[in-house]
Amino acid sequence: MRDGFIKVAAGTPKIKVADCGYNAGQIIALMKEAAEQGVKVLALPELCVTGYTCGDLFLQDTLLRGAEEALGRILEETTELDMLTAVGLPVRSKWDHKLYNCAAVICKGEILGLRPKVNIPNYGEFYEGRWFASGRDQEATLQLCGDELVDMCPRGLFACESIPNLIVGVEICEDLWAPEPPSAGLVQAGATLILNLSASNELAGKAAYRRALAAGQSARLVCGYVYADAGEGESTTDLVFAGHNIIAENGTILAEKRFDTGLTISEIDLEKLAFERRKMNTFRPYEENQNYWRCSFELEPADTALTRPVGKNPFVPAEAGDRRERCEEIFTIAALGLKKRLEHTRASCAVVGLSGGLDSTLALLITARAMDLLGRPRTDILAVTMPCFGTTSRTKSNAQLLAERIGADFRTVDIGEAVKVHFRDIGQSMDDLSVTFENGQARERTQVLMDLANQRGGLVIGTGDLSELALGWATYNGDHMSMYGVNGSIPKTLVRHLTAYAADEAEGSDPELAAVLRDILDTPVSPELLPPKEGEIAQRTEDLVGPYELHDFFLYYAVRWGFSPRKVFRLALYALGKDYSRETILKWLKNFYRRFFSQQFKRSCLPDGPKVGSLALSPRGDWRMPSDAVNTLWMEELENLQ
């Protein structure tokens, strides 16, 4: 459970209909297998002790007695398992002579409580109303497995005293499909993990809908959701059950199996869920949560080995189709933001400083799309390249070729002499290649762009991206400033994919544009503020501040999810440990926290720009941080990782 992770599982045993003894053996074996793999919370299917498809046999005393005896055997043979399990069985109530479709929540040989199914389907292929009563508003103490008294209530929660944030709620199959799923109230009363015991038959196309339900409910409720489905062994007289097991967390499917028996395992991040709930002021406790009761239980805290998917590039969709769709969406959002600003200011043109690098390329592409949306000619874009001491022929040529293929008005302003005059004025030696030497060029470029915009009644379009803003890798009042920053919430790893997407889109209609975009993609990331060596770029950004692949990973988990440095480091090793050594990751993680804290003053006065993803650092939007906050606690935690 270190760092908030807890291993959970959905299990589908291979059963025999109405053979409770056999089914108990299968359930016990599956529980023991789960415990051996470190699972701490296990969900099993609806009515799996008897089988869901028993029909009118559910009314037989013999089957009900067999189910109770089977549960007793399960309790007896799992007393040593350090695991909470929800197992489905029919339970008869002697006080109202009704039969309830229940989940028995058990731990270490003890029944913690019964959770009855609330929504009883009696339509289509389902006839549960023929046998079962709804558990809505039912509260009773029942005698089960001998003399044991067990509370049955649809509003029961199971809280782990030894693991912070682990509070389990249970619903059963149709409960999720109903207009008001019980899980909504359970979560508002404190549940962080919902178990769904299900027997959902398989139909063509139903799996996608079921998947969307589970993922959507976990997102809406900001919770973990474990869906355990009936499978092989259920009667196929009229239906087929596929064992479609799903583990979801806050809208993301972590693990999934279908047409299989056995375990589906992953880890739920309880700290992540708690952070998101703290942040969302609309996530409010249920006003009537006094109607919910909690049963406490204990699990032994243990280190949880990770198996859940953690991508190297969290800002970039892994699947190619999703990536293309995301790129198109971002281009549209950013262009719509700029379109509105150009309309509102009645700007005669958009001025873009074009370096031949990735960021300015993306800014030009977005600006071109904004002009298209406005129905204005692309010649209303003024693309300006401003060569100076560090400019190479490759980037200068690419800037010109790009502007020509886009159809922008293009202008070259060599700022070398202006910068030399400025250096003479302030007494800066040309041999002193210090930060003043670099920033003097960046600020001169910004002055040129601003003055050209004034001449034409236009707007300067910013090119700086989210990763640079996080690290403060921008010259204050130089490239840090613009009149509208279209790239401000786009991380560097995504800038690269957006440019690649534009190249792919241009391949058929404009091969020359595609070619120049691909050459820009192959160009090392550099501000080109130091003289080149033998005609090649001498200043490589990632050699100075670290790989953007790492920094974007750090940014996503440290800021978007508020993870501790220790947890960010652990996830970075898990996701990127094959590409970078432990020492390299730790080195650049320290650098990330140093720069993130020290450079906040630059983020406190950013120009306007559209938020396009889940994270932005605008002081008017996502991120409010004092510029003089200190990073002592964060750095101390990192030092302890040595």
Cα–Cα distance for residue pair 89/71, rounded to 1 Å: 8
| Residues paired with 116 in a beta bridge | 102
What is the residue-wise DSSP string for 429-455? -TT--SHHHHHHHHHHHHHHHHHHHHH
- Taking each helix axis from N to C end, the angle separating 582-598 and 548-555, rounded to the nearest 10 degrees, works out to 60
**Which amino acid does the sequence have at 513?**
L
CA angle 432, 435, 438 (to 5 degrees): 85
Nearest to 44 by CA among 55, 29, 58, 65: 29
Cα–Cα distance for residue pair 124/474, rounded to 1 Å: 63
User: How far, in whole angstroms, is CA 64 from its chain's centroid?
Assistant: 44
Which two three-digit tokens encode residue 224? 């973990």
Residues 6+ apart with CB under 8 A from 185: 155, 286, 292
Cα–Cα distance for residue pair 394/541, rounded to 1 Å: 17
Contact, 517 vs 504, CB < 8 A?
A: no
Task: Give the count of alpha carbons within 13 A of 269, CB side only.
Answer: 25
The runs of H, that is alpha helices, within 59-205 are 61-77, 174-177, 182-188
Cα–Cα distance for residue pair 5/307, rounded to 1 Å: 11
Cα–Cα distance for residue pair 199/10, rounded to 1 Å: 13
Which two three-digit tokens encode residue 508? 């058929």
Contact, 386 vs 414, CB < 8 A?
A: yes
CA angle 304, 307, 312 (to 5 degrees): 115
CA angle 90, 95, 100 (to 5 degrees): 20
Contact, 602 vs 476, CB < 8 A?
A: yes
Cα–Cα distance for residue pair 476/469, rounded to 1 Å: 11
- Active centre residues (catalytic): 46, 117, 173
Contact, 356 vs 398, CB < 8 A?
A: yes
Residue 353, CA distances (Å) to 5, 80, 400, 520 in order: 46, 68, 11, 15
Provide long-range contacts, Cβ within 8 A and 24+ apart, for 123-127.
125/201, 125/238, 125/239, 126/174, 127/55
Residues 312-347 as b or e (16 or more Cβ within 10 Å = b): bbbbbbeeeeebeebbeebbebbbebbbebbeeeeb
Contact, 491 vs 552, CB < 8 A?
A: yes
What is the residue-wise DSSP string for 449-506? HHHHHHHHT-EEEE---HHHHHHT-S-TTTTT--SEETTTT--HHHHHHHHHHHHHHH
